[in-house]
Amino acid sequence: MTLVKNLDKKEITYKFPQNFWWGSASSATQMEGASNIDGKGKNIWDYWYEQEPYRFYDEVGPSDTSQFYYKYKEDIKLMKEIGHNTFRFSISWSRLIPNGVGEVNKKAVTFYNNVIDELLKCGIEPFINLYHFDMPFELQKIGGWENREVVEAYIKYAETCFTLFGDRVKKWFTHNEPIVPVEGGYLYNFHYPNLCDFQKAVQVAFHTILSSAKAIQKFRELGLEGKIGIILNLTPSYPRSNHPSDLKAAKIADLFFNRSFLDPSVKGEFPKELVELLKVEGYLPTYEQEDLQTIQSNTVDILGINYYQPRRVKAKENIPNPDAPFLPERYFDYYVMPGRKMNKYRGWEIYEKGIYDILLNIKKNYGNIECFISENGMGVENEERFRNQDGMIEDDYRIEFIKGHLKWLHKAIQEGANVKGYHLWTFMDNWSWTNAYKNRYGFVSVDLDNNAKRTVKKSGYWFKKVVEQNGF
């Protein structure tokens, strides 16, 4: 069989360092299901789906996700079988503390303890992320991250997690892709609360960074073993040309979408150029002077890097409408590079070298901080057409996608980048916010019409061999 022949191939061109972190990533709202039982409180996704189900693909909501809540033992066994030595997931704030503040849900504590213990029993290290887009709805009622009170509620939530699980969990992350709730909720209307308000966006961003620093401070005050960091989706901003106007456009895009969170998280300070730009435009956040000291003093130990696609920009071609709501695109236009390679299902460019460029930038400009690729993946629509007679989805396109990125990741390691692992998005097909199950990303397929039955894809077996050889 061709598959076996390929998997048994012994030549290893790309060998990875010993103890490399091989695994995948997911999030509570996207995989757990059980969104309204066992004491779980409502989060913004539960509420938004109730209000506007038509905004979600095929009107599939968060209660219909992949049912990890019930099937975690089966899933963790499969993770082990396909080679995971690490797994990144998130805790649902509204499951653990239903109203966001107050009483802890004992059934949630039992669930997360069971998941952590099962992972460790299978030799898989748990990497826990505290916040993945899922604000408890009771806290969103008072403004969510717009409100300073929510920062304090988050610190209490983080402390609760550290205290309950910190004896076994040694890798913690404060936020996943914190720029996304800013963009989606406050600029471009693809996350709740669906606003277009740049001033609120800036305030949300500031409070998110402050919450991260305060959680790191609390972690260290508790004297816990392990490391704590943040997970950022770093999207390189490539200029159309070397013309000064295109270069400036790319620099400003990078300030808004990458350095706004990267610099304060790793360096403890916001980029001066970004602060000056916001000052000129009249959009500085409200803060207390001591907040800047808190951010400066509590930088991350480790950086998770999510990479999917590049950002290509050029100088503005038309004068912006001064009466339109302020958006970052006031300073640049997007650029479609001719001949680019595309994932046509997601509408994203595939540019494998981007992962290398990110890592070399981290090495050069951010102290070569310890990092890992915490998400990278390819979503494809209607994967059932690739299911063979034996019932396995032959996702060769995903294998080629991963290979292409791992080659550039390997090159970065050879050049001294301090990168310790690679996590695919995601372990099994899961619910992707408003896209629901339109695009599938997993090593494992999930049949929603058959009790969420799991079947390992060809990429899962390929990954198993890669981990066994520590390369390919």
Annotated active-site positions, please? Answer: 177, 375
Dump strand ranges (E) for 283-370.
Answer: 302-306, 311-314, 333-334, 342-343, 348-349
Angle between helix axes 396-414 and 458-469 (nearest 10 degrees) is 30
Q: Is residue 376 within 8 Å of 306, Cβ to Cβ?
A: yes
Q: Is residue 399 within 8 Å of 458, Cβ to Cβ?
A: yes
Q: How far apart are CA 242 and CA 444, in angstroms?
A: 43
Q: How far apart are CA 240 and CA 253, in angstroms?
A: 13
Which region, left, alpha or beta, applies to residue 235 given φ > 0 means left and ψ of -120 to 50 means alpha? beta
CA 344 to chain centre: 21
Any idea how long the chain is? 472
Q: What values do phi and psi take at 198, rounded to 5?
A: -65, -35
Q: How far apart are CA 435 and CA 446, in angstroms?
A: 16
Pairing of strands 419-425, 371-375: parallel
Nearest to 93, CA basis, from 41, 145, 47:
41
Which region, left, alpha or beta, applies to residue 470 given φ > 0 means left and ψ of -120 to 50 means alpha? left
